[in-house]
Structure 1
């Protein structure tokens, strides 16, 4: 598919969109057959990946990925889903209603929703094009995650989203209006998805990694000014500071580095990232510890000292909670995996 054909297809009103436009009072009774549940004392619908795939799938290329153009003028009830969803504003504007909060979105904005976030998209009219990318949790393979930055906001979000012991109530917002690459990459993705060529599945996965990487480059949670200092220093700068100074990082030291009061910084981090300072610091230490266990011959005692933990028992506990194995079991598993890999290469 050529890009010119793609753009024509995206902006052409479908019969369904024209009907919604001319009948704004129309309610699609099909939603009544969807599963629903009470969440935060309100009724929300539950959208299932296999149902969305069956309804929209034009190309059975990847059973774990679906890409659809949001239907303009449609009235979609507040819902959650069992998949990860990426909403990209390709043209124009729209509004995302997330947990009863209205978030204006414009061309270049991207919003990633975890599975348990009540939301909907509204006010999508003639010149507004929103692309919805639906990803089953199992879409994110180890090899794909390995292509993302190991300690990035996106990779941590995805790892949380595909785990079984999280609340799954997070979303991330990216403002990428200044990106000169994101729209062309998305266009290439759509052309390949709707008119597959040779090796299309691998090409599509590669485009998805590029999209995530470009989003990360332009990361910011919103354009509002929490303070003059907060405007100068994005939350990404704060996260990078924690990543680079995790061994002896404290809330006080971080606050001093960014000229914040510790209490204000604590609230800012939780508001922007959905996690406490303590949680972020612990995750960074565990990320580093797992990397050292897998890729070095250091002893566990040496690794504890390297990442800044003094209590061996506490380290064992939180490590097993995250990885499902004790540090020793994890190290043995990684060493066995490498040994088998090396043996296969020799054979």
Structure 2
């Protein structure tokens, strides 16, 4: 992260100065008026605001607490140790930690050079990110759904070990910079940036760790990860062989866990990828059909229309204003 940003976040806050001067625990009134330590968004956010950043409070043990908002922590420098629903998570430089509203968190004392920034975010801020992610099932979408409905079946946290992923680092830095400098239109800018961040993170499922899963959660993740990586030609027989499950049992399990058949999940992934290619490349519709796994262009046209209510050409024309060269449609 840019050193100027780190220097601004590293400044000793009034709260930290009180701790240095002898306070041995956090001042609960800074965070809540209630008896239980549930950090209140009304204490953290100005009226009408949906997102804010603040430096993580150092030098003190932060006792077990919950939030009535979604918290995202980015480690700018150093590391912090968190206990989330009894699991220990060490957040290192360049890594992201998403916390659900139902998660119980405890944080061990951080040193002066351990610089983390906390994003305090109301759930409605993520509306744009939802739209940008599309309707296919993925771990981030499920996480947000769990946050919105306080459903404990969903992951309590997502830990992204993405320090080596430059686009992710750039997007996080852009959000921090925009919020620190109070840039005009910062809400719209950051909602779109968060959507772009999620689209990037969706490509790095191998870099996610999260709450210890039940068998059903683990299987769902394995199925969706396989589809993400093999949507063009992936077969249920191949997945069953990889996981060493009976194909008929696996087929029923996929339907029970996702509400869709394996074939339907593959098709949704292909059509969402086709939509992305229509709007972000100049590939012909025939080339896009083949790229997502459909050699029969007529069949691709038919299922695309059934899914989107319009043909691929109509979808491209409606959603994209950039002109395309002759012969590329």
TM-score by length of 2: 0.63
**Structure 2 residue 197 is the aligned partner of structure 1 residue 198:** no
Corresponding position of 1:12: 11
Name structure 1 gaps, 5 residues minimum.
Answer: 37-44, 55-59, 224-234, 267-274, 293-330, 336-341, 343-347
- Displacement of 1:24: 6.5
Aligned to 1:135: 121
- For residues 20 and 203 of structure 1, what CA distance do their matches in structure 2 show? 35
Q: Deviations over 1:269-311 (max 9, x none)?
A: xxxxxx999424749758968x99xxxxxxxxxxxxxxxxxxx
CA distance in 1, matches of 2:88, 2:255: 27
**Among candidates 197, 202, 225, match of residue 240 of structure 1:** 225
Q: For the structure 1 residues 51 and 112, does the alpha-carbon distance in structure 2 shift closer, same or farther, using more than 3 Å as the test? A: same
Q: Give the equivalent residue in structure 2 for 1:23.
A: 22
Does the 8 A contact of 2:64 with 2:106 survive in 1? yes
Cα contact 1:65–1:136 (8 A) shared by 2:
yes
Q: Which residue pairs with 2:42 in the alignment? A: 50
2:133 corresponds to which residue? 148
Q: How does 1:1-347 map to 2 (within 5 A)?
A: 5-23=4-22, 25-30=24-29, 33-36=33-36, 45-54=37-46, 63-141=49-127, 143-151=128-136, 152-163=138-149, 167=153, 170-219=156-205, 220-222=207-209, 239-242=224-227, 254-257=239-242, 260-262=243-245, 278-280=256-258, 282=260, 285=264
Superposed displacement of residue 13, structure 1 = 2.1
Runs of 4+ in 1 over 6 A off after TM superposition: 286-289
List gaps (5 residues or longer) in structure 2: 211-219, 272-305, 311-317, 319-329
Contact 1:116 1:167 (8 Å CA) reproduced: no
Give 1:158 deviation, angstroms.
1.5
Number of aligned pairs?
260
How far did residue 107 of structure 1 move?
Answer: 0.8
Which stretch of the first structure deviates more once superposed, 8-17 or 110-119? 8-17
In 2: Cα distance, 1:71 partner to 1:46 partner: 16
Distance 1:287 1:77, change over 3 A: farther
Instruction: Supply the distance in 2 between the matched residues of 1:255 and 1:214 (Cα, whole angstroms).
Output: 28
2:164 is paired with a residue whose SS is: coil
Contact 1:116 1:169 in 2 (8 A): no
Give the stretch that moved more between structures: 95-104 or 16-25: 16-25
1:134 offset after TM fit, Å? Answer: 1.8
Q: Which residue of 1 is the match for residue 282 of structure 2? A: none
Q: Give, in angstroms, the shift of residue 174 of structure 1.
A: 1.0
Write out per-residue CA displacement over residues 128-147 of structure 1, whole angstroms, 9 at most, x where no aligned residue: 11111122122222x43121
CA change 1:109–1:93 in 2 (3 A) is same
Helix, strand or coil: the match of 1:130?
A: strand
User: What is the CA-CA distance between 1:27 and the residue it aligns to?
Assistant: 4.6
Cα distance in 1 for residues equivalent to 2:86 and 2:265: 34
Partner of 1:312: none
Contact persistence 1:242–1:254 (CA under 8 A): no
In 2 relative to 1, CA 111–276 (structure 1 residues): closer, same or farther, beyond 3 Å? farther
Q: Which residue of 2 aligns with 1:295?
A: none
In structure 2, do the counterparts of structure 1 residues 25 and 277 end up closer, same or farther at CA, with 3 Å as the change threshold? farther
The Cα shift of 1:106 comes to: 0.6
Aligned-partner Cα distance in 2 for 1:159–1:84: 11
TM-score normalised according to structure 1 size: 0.61
TM-aligned CA distance change 1:282 to 1:117, over 3 Å: farther
SS at match of 2:145: helix
Q: Using a 3 Å threshold, how does the CA distance of structure 1 residues 207 and 253 change in structure 2: closer, same or farther?
A: same
